[in-house]
Amino acid sequence: MTRVHNFNAGPAALPLPALERAQRELLDYDSTGMSIMEHSHRGKAFEAVHDEAISLVRQLLDVPDDYHVLFLQGGASHQFAMVPLNLLPPGKSADYILTGGWSEKAYQEAGRVGTVRIAASTEVDKRYTRIPRQEELQLDPSAAYLHMTTNNTLFGTQWHWLPDTGNVPLVADMSSDFLWRRIDVRRFGLIYAGAQKNIGPSGVTVVLARKDLIDGGRKDVPVIFRYATHAASNSLYNTPPTFAIYLVRNVLAYTVETGGLDEMERRNRHKAGLLYGAIDERPDFFLAPVENESRSFMNVVFRLPTEELEKRFVTEAAREGMVGLAGHRSTGGIRVSIYNAIEVTSVERLVEFMKAFVARA
Amino acid sequence: MTRVHNFNAGPAALPLPALERAQRELLDYDSTGMSIMEHSHRGKAFEAVHDEAISLVRQLLDVPDDYHVLFLQGGASHQFAMVPLNLLPPGKSADYILTGGWSEKAYQEAGRVGTVRIAASTEVDKRYTRIPRQEELQLDPSAAYLHMTTNNTLFGTQWHWLPDTGNVPLVADMSSDFLWRRIDVRRFGLIYAGAQKNIGPSGVTVVLARKDLIDGGRKDVPVIFRYATHAASNSLYNTPPTFAIYLVRNVLAYTVETGGLDEMERRNRHKAGLLYGAIDERPDFFLAPVENESRSFMNVVFRLPTEELEKRFVTEAAREGMVGLAGHRSTGGIRVSIYNAIEVTSVERLVEFMKAFVARA
Ligand SMILES: Cc1ncc(COP(=O)(O)O)c(C=O)c1O
Ligand SMILES: Cc1ncc(COP(=O)(O)O)c(C=O)c1O
Ligand SMILES: [Mg+2]
Ligand SMILES: [Mg+2]
Ligand SMILES: [Mg+2]
Ligand SMILES: [Mg+2]
């Protein structure tokens, strides 16, 4: 078996040991004579897995006790609707900062639920190449919440500071940089993240939410859409995606084993440093659209002088076992997603390839 | 490795060959050098799996061309809200037939979205022991739809005929008997089923929907909740639960290999016949609450003379490798779930055990 170097943007590569563990126990979980996915979600075996997954998130991020940790279904796109359905009552308005395609979608979906306002946008000609500065934000001090996208998967930008929102709860879509390093959870009212980039397979979304915020959420919406419902039943209101949660457990347990988030941040900074280093060495060939201070540590995007060269780059890299390098269909170019599971050695291989590619181009 | 006889109500047992296939290719799907769950949902590998899963459903049920086959997230409970959000516009009313705990929940959730009406209920003292007869149904001829639960997982009843609804679309929750045998899809406007009983792991829900019905659905709700959104993008509007869909593919491919739904129905009838036979042989000991014509082929429920005996039954069966036999926490008693994946030999073992248990009780 040869595993490739997988730079997919999501669903993305998972740590091999987490997959090997799943493979080993796929037919017989912990000598119970069945797969974890054949266990009842209300039985002891799954309960232990579920509890472990929650406490790993709590441990890794130092989640304060007055925050819930929920595992929900529907993806981040489902949260685009669930956030305003819970936190945006009639008569109030919510602020959105637009920094990419996903924040646009979050904003548009919220607009179908209630009143929304753009607090800032860095869009120029349908492209986003930077994160705004605090002084550019036009915050509504009475907003129900302020929504931001901490890492912009399509455009390769990332927030490296947090807006000061006063008393307005900060809501963050962290789908593509959740757990890439420590954060101060207290700065947020609610965080959500689809698992399929940094911490697991698709099919499960992690939500961290301040208890008072969601307890005070709207009651005039279907029970299944209320955070309070899922919080009150520890994400067991209905059948959770048990196998996806089990895999998140495997990934997070492995993260702790390999040194936790400090080590993760060190590796992630090192990987991004290697790539941006290679790009900056040949600015005539690797065209980086993103402003330096806004560069993402998760999705490194660049263009080559011609689309023809971009195609060759992707094809020739694939031939050498490096896949997932084509930019998003809406942006084109090259995108290298280097989430937590991507090994430093994979990035080193790619950097070598980039150098050789320039040399022969 | 010893696999147990797993009579769980859901998540439930899966066919061993479907799991073995997943195990074999977990680290390297089809020589691509990565797990299917590490593939992009928009790439060729997953596309082939997804298309195969859809066409297996189409093939097994002879789904007419004017029906969509969708794979959604959120479980059947999510459908409880999604059905009225799409099909129940303001000014209309929807009919619900109550035959158990799940149809009650579907009815209550729809009541949070719009106007609902009970077309029939067989509830007596909070219990449901039968399916109504056509003449008991008080159908509203102008209803937006009529909702029914084809198999009642908690109470062990199942519809063995379909109500005549005239022009009113029939919407069915088939979570616990989807694909147990052929059905005439044309009789339904929309069918939904959580995968975790008959066809896969939890985390994915199959929806079959008549195209004109969902194309004409409400447009005043968030895009993510509209069937039309998912239909227009072949369930790829956002990231689907790729691994869960892959497992459904494995299960359905195995179903076809082993003879399709005719063979499945034959086996399911045989298994249920064995169990009801054992029950009826000792009606003084095995107390079957469900009326004969309403008995479920999927969930066989009975009581023993005392709760004490019920506990012993569950414990002693577990000692002999038969698990998942305790009734739902809301009903008590014994429940034997014999979905598609449960082998005839498992049921034979249980029947032997039942006979020995009576003999020594
Ligand atoms: C930042 C961000 N938000 C939201 C989404 C949408 O997630 P999902 O497909 O799980 O709905 C993505 C997916 O790539 C993303 O990167
Ligand atoms: C008939 C029926 N409907 C709905 C549900 C709820 O499904 P979920 O937990 O996937 O929301 C169940 C679960 O057991 C069920 O049996
Ligand atoms: Mg995506
Ligand atoms: Mg973006
Ligand atoms: Mg259940
Ligand atoms: Mg029921």
Residues A267 and A353 in one domain: yes
* A1-36 residue pLDDT tens: 789 999 999 999 999 999 999 999 999 999 999 999
Residues B205 and B248 in one domain: yes
pLDDT grade for B351, boundaries at 50, 70 and 90: very high
Q: Per the CB < 8 Å rule, is A40 touching B2?
A: no
Which ligand is closest in space to the CA of residue A176? 1
Q: Residue A330 has what pLDDT?
A: 83
By percentage, how much of chain B surpasses pLDDT 70? Answer: 100
- Mean per-residue pLDDT of chain B: 97
- Does some domain include residue A55? yes
Residue A303 forms beta bridges with which residues? A287
Residue entry with tokens 């067991």: A236
- Does some domain include residue A4? no
What is the distance between the alpha carbons of residues A310 and A333, in angstroms, rounded to a whole number? 6
Q: Residue A329 has what pLDDT?
A: 82
Decide if pLDDT at A229 tops 80: yes
- Does some domain include residue B7? no
Reduced 3-state DSSP string for A293-323: HHECCCEEEEECCCHHHHHHHHHHHHHCCEE
The answer to whether A232 touches A209, Cβ cutoff 8 Å, is no
Q: How far is B284 from chain A (nearest CA, A)?
A: 31
* Neighbouring residues of the ion ligand 4, judged by CB less than 5 Å: A 100-102, 152-154
Residues A242 and A265 in one domain: no
- Which chain A residues are within 8 Å of B4, Cβ to Cβ? 32-34
> Please, which residues have CB within 8 angstroms of residue B326's CB and are 6 or more apart in sequence?
B310, B314, B334, B335
What is the distance between the alpha carbons of residues B271 and B3, in angstroms, rounded to a whole number? 19
Cα A173 to Cα A103, A190, A265, B87, B344: the distances in Å are 8, 9, 19, 30, 48
Q: Which of A8, A72, A77 most suits a substitution to test ligand 1, by most atoms within 8 Å of the C-beta?
A: A77
- Does some domain include residue A324? yes
Residues A199 and A78 in one domain: yes
Cα A93 to Cα A115, A192, B141, B356: the distances in Å are 5, 20, 41, 67
Residues B272 and B343 in one domain: yes
Q: Is A75 in the pocket of ligand 1 (CB under 6 A)?
A: yes
Q: How many CB atoms lie within 10 A of CB B66?
A: 12
pLDDT grade for B149, boundaries at 50, 70 and 90: very high
Mean pLDDT of all residues in B20-25: 98
Which residue among A257, A289, A321 closes a domain?
A257
* B68-83 residue pLDDT tens: 999 999 999 999 999 9
Q: Examine the predicted complex and report whether its ipTM is higher than 0.95.
A: yes
Q: Per the CB < 8 Å rule, is B201 touching A37?
A: yes
Domain that residue B229 falls in: 17-257
Q: Residue B60 has what pLDDT?
A: 98
Q: Residue B206 has what pLDDT?
A: 98
Q: Residue A284 has what pLDDT?
A: 96
Here the CATH number for the domain that contains residue A268 is 3.90.1150.10
Hey, is A127 helix, strand or coil? strand
* A305-320 residue pLDDT tens: 999 999 999 999 999 9
Q: Residue A1 has what pLDDT?
A: 76
* B88-98 residue pLDDT tens: 999 999 999 99
Residues B188 and B222 in one domain: yes
Residues B90 and B160 in one domain: yes
The answer to whether A85 touches A113, Cβ cutoff 8 Å, is yes
What is the distance between the alpha carbons of residues A336 and B248, in angstroms, rounded to a whole number? 31
Mean pLDDT of all residues in B165-179: 97
**Residue A75 alpha carbon, nearest atom of ligand 1:** 10
Region of residue B28 (left: phi > 0; alpha: psi -120 to 50; beta: else): beta
Cα A282 to Cα A224, A262, A286, A287, A331: the distances in Å are 52, 31, 6, 8, 22
User: What number of residues does chain B have?
Assistant: 361
What is the distance between the alpha carbons of residues A265 and A181, in angstroms, rounded to a whole number? 5
For ligand 1, the distance from its centroid to the CA atom of residue B176, given in whole angstroms, is 31
Which residue among A257, A290, A319 closes a domain?
A257
Here the CATH number for the domain that contains residue A190 is 3.40.640.10
For residue A65, report the phi and psi dihedrals to the nearest 5 degrees. -60, -25
Query: Where would I find the H helices in chain B?
Result: 16-24, 44-61, 75-87, 101-111, 211-215, 227-232, 242-257, 260-281, 307-319, 344-360
Which residue among A215, A231, A257 closes a domain?
A257
Chain A touched by B169 (CB under 8 Å): no
- Does some domain include residue A12? no
Q: Per the CB < 8 Å rule, is A40 touching B324?
A: yes
The answer to whether B25 touches B257, Cβ cutoff 8 Å, is no
- Does some domain include residue A336? yes
pLDDT grade for A176, boundaries at 50, 70 and 90: very high
Residues A280 and A265 in one domain: yes
Q: Which of B79, B149, B176, B179 most suits a substitution to test ligand 2, by most atoms within 8 Å of the C-beta?
A: B176
- Does some domain include residue A1? no
Decide if pLDDT at A234 tops 80: yes
Which residue is closest to A46 within chain B, CA to CA?
B11
Residues A90 and A218 in one domain: yes
Q: Residue B119 has what pLDDT?
A: 98
Determine the residue among B35, B85, B323, B342 to mutate to test chain A binding: the one whose Cβ has the most chain A Cβ atoms within 10 Å.
B35
- Among B173, B177, B180, B271, the active-site one is B173
* C-alpha A360, offset from chain centre: 36
Q: Residue B146 has what pLDDT?
A: 98
Mean pLDDT of all residues in A279-291: 97
Decide if pLDDT at B1 tops 80: no
For residue B224, report the phi and psi dihedrals to the nearest 5 degrees. -65, -20
Q: Residue A59 has what pLDDT?
A: 98
How many domains is chain B partitioned into structurally?
2
* A340-355 residue pLDDT tens: 999 999 999 999 999 9
Residues A144 and A269 in one domain: no
Residues A65 and A181 in one domain: yes
Q: How far apart are the first and last CA of chain A?
A: 32
Tokens of B313: 């039954």
Q: How far apart are the first and last CA of chain B?
A: 32
- Does some domain include residue A270? yes
Residues B80 and B188 in one domain: yes
Decide if pLDDT at A69 tops 90: yes
The answer to whether B156 touches B133, Cβ cutoff 8 Å, is no
The answer to whether A116 touches A96, Cβ cutoff 8 Å, is yes
Chain A touched by B258 (CB under 8 Å): no
- Mean per-residue pLDDT of chain A: 97
> Please, which residues have CB within 8 angstroms of residue A241's CB and are 6 or more apart in sequence?
A71, A73, A203, A204, B73, B201, B202, B203, B241, B244
Which residue is closest to A4 within chain B, CA to CA?
B33
Q: Residue A185 has what pLDDT?
A: 98
Q: How many CB atoms lie within 10 A of CB A215?
A: 13
pLDDT grade for B260, boundaries at 50, 70 and 90: very high
The answer to whether B67 touches B185, Cβ cutoff 8 Å, is yes
